[in-house]
């Protein structure tokens, strides 16, 4: 059964006017058929799918973006066993124009290897190579410098350009749809001194007309606090929850600053429901934010349009607030 949430973005600015209505319709699988049937409409949408890379205990992160002109992007590529390649193949996707890796932790980039192994073509890979001393401070549990280098070498040897992500870079810009890098720090040259690898996460803003979505990688407490107070253009109706929602993540004031209406959390069920995620879970709830978790709801798809967005999930759960209406 599919669940459909629809919200209209307020006219006259990026912010929602008043408390937007969240309408729910239970359409079974028909809403997918309906969407694909209006093929002309597809060109007016940007389709963001939070892939189901969190069915078990391990955490991972991978998002498919299908742009209005047919370009296909990935924001993060999941872990070694996430099977992102299989998910793409089942959609008939054999070529990804651009892959953006938020930061060099394996739950976000180790899926790059299987993409090549399983015959998915990649046009360009955008990934900041970690500074060795930043990476090595998390040995052996976190950052694996040699593995990052090996992965990037594999891509370069296949002729795939490997490019950095820098603040201000525009990654896509067609008509009223834009994907850009708001922030990307190297862990050493930052406004708050040395940080961990999570705080090197590239922060990406996707804009489709007045609809905005913010991708935050695994943004953590220190830089999340800084950005909440000093960052700009962070407001978005839809937020990719940083760091799987786990404690250590950006503070509540960061969530307040973004002020989302809808949050997508890449989190295994056991992690999302654990004490480690309690603060984020409860804060989003207190903000009245509809939160969709792939570990609970399965794959989540958001169709962004110039003045509205629609979200669909694979599974209803008792935790889905709108389903009670
Ligand atoms: Zn992660």
**What pLDDT, on a 0 to 100 scale, did the predictor assign at position 17?**
26
User: Could you tell me the distance, in angstroms and rounded to a whole number, from the CA of residue 52 to the centre of ligand 1?
Assistant: 14
In whole angstroms, give the CA distance from residue 158 to residue 164. 18
pLDDT band at 318 (very low <50, low <70, confident <90, very high): low
Average pLDDT, the chain: 87
> How far is the centre of ligand 1, averaged over its atoms, from the C-alpha of 95 (Å)?
24
Mean pLDDT calculated for residue range 91-103 = 98
Supply the pLDDT for residue 43. Answer: 54
Angle at 238 between CA 232 and CA 239, to 5 degrees: 70
Assigned token pair, 168? 């201000």
Per-residue pLDDT, 139: 86
Q: Domains in the chain, start-ordered, CATH in brackets?
A: 3-324 (3.60.15.10)
For residue 105, give the 3-state DSSP assignment.
coil
Phi then psi dihedrals of residue 304, to 5 deg = -95, 130
The confidence band for 3, taking pLDDT boundaries of 50, 70 and 90, is low
3-state DSSP assignment of residue 103: coil
Contact present, 16 and 10 (Cβ < 8 Å) = yes
Per-residue pLDDT at 19: 30
Q: Which helix (H) or strand (E) holds 181?
A: strand 177-183
Q: What is the mean pLDDT of residues 112-123?
A: 98
Strand order in the sheet with 203-208: 170-174, 177-183, 203-208, 211-215, 238-240, 262-265, 290-293
CA of 9 to the centre of ligand 1 (A): 30
* pLDDT of amino acid 29: 27
Q: Which residues pair with 96 in a beta bridge?
A: 122
**Pairing mode of beta strands 121-127, 95-101:** parallel
Ligand 1 center to 325 CA (angstroms): 33
Strands (E), 51-131: 62-66, 72-77, 95-101, 121-127
CA 93–ligand 1 middle distance (angstroms): 25
Helical segments of 231-311, H only = 252-258, 269-272, 278-286, 294-297
DSSP structure string for 216-234: -TT-BHHHHHHHHHH--S-
* Cβ-contact 62, 111 below 8 angstroms: yes
Cβ atoms 21, 321 nearer than 8 A: no
Q: Compute, in angstroms, the gap from residue 295 CA to the centroid of ligand 1.
A: 14
pLDDT of residue 33: 25
Ligand 1 mean position, distance from CA 106 (Å): 8
Residue 22 has pLDDT above 70, yes or no: no
Residues 25-67 have pLDDT tens digits of 333 322 332 232 233 444 589 999 999 999 999 999 999 999 9
Ligand 1: centre distance to CA 122 (Å): 22
- 3-state SS, residue 211: strand
Q: What is the largest CA-CA distance in the chain?
A: 53
Mean pLDDT of 119-142: 94
pLDDT higher than 50, residue 280: yes
Extract the tokens encoding 148: 């990052």
Q: Which two tokens stand for residue 79?
A: 């872990």
**Ligand 1: centre distance to CA 62 (Å):** 10
- This prediction has a pTM of 0.88
């Amino acid at each position: 059964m599919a669940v459909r949430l629809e919200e209209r973005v307020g006219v006259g600015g990026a912010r929602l006017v008043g408390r937007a209505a969240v309408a729910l319709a239970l359409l079974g699988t028909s809403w997918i058929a309906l969407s694909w049937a209006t093929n002309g409409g597809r060109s007016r949408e940007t389709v963001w799918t939070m892939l189901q890379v969190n069915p078990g205990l391990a955490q991972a992160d991978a998002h498919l973006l299908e742009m209005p002109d047919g370009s296909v992007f990935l924001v993060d590529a999941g872990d070694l066993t996430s099977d992102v390649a299989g998910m793409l193949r089942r959609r008939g996707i054999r070529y990804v124009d651009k892959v953006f890796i938020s930061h060099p932790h394996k739950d976000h980039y180790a899926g790059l290897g299987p993409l090549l192994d399983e015959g998915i073509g990649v046009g360009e890979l955008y990934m900041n190579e970690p500074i060795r001393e930043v990476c090595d401070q998390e040995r052996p549990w976190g950052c694996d410098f040699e593995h990052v280098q090996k992965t990037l070498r594999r891509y370069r040897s296949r002729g795939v350009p490997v490019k950095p992500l820098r603040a201000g870079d525009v990654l896509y810009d067609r008509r009223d749809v834009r994907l850009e890098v708001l922030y990307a720090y190297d862990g050493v040259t930052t406004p708050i001194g040395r940080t961990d690898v999570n705080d090197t996460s590239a922060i990406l803003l996707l804009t489709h007309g007045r609809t905005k979505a913010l991708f935050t990688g695994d943004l953590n407490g220190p830089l999340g606090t800084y950005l909440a107070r000093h960052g700009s253009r962070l407001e978005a109706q839809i937020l990719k929850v940083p760091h799987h929602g786990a404690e250590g993540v950006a503070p509540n004031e960061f969530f307040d600053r973004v002020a989302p209406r809808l949050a997508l959390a890449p989190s295994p069920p056991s992690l999302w429901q654990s004490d480690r995620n309690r603060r984020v879970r409860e804060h989003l709830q207190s903000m009245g934010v509809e939160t969709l978790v792939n570990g609970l709801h399965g794959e989540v798809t958001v169709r962004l349009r110039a003045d509205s967005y629609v979200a669909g999930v694979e599974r209803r759960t008792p935790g889905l607030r709108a389903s009670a209406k």
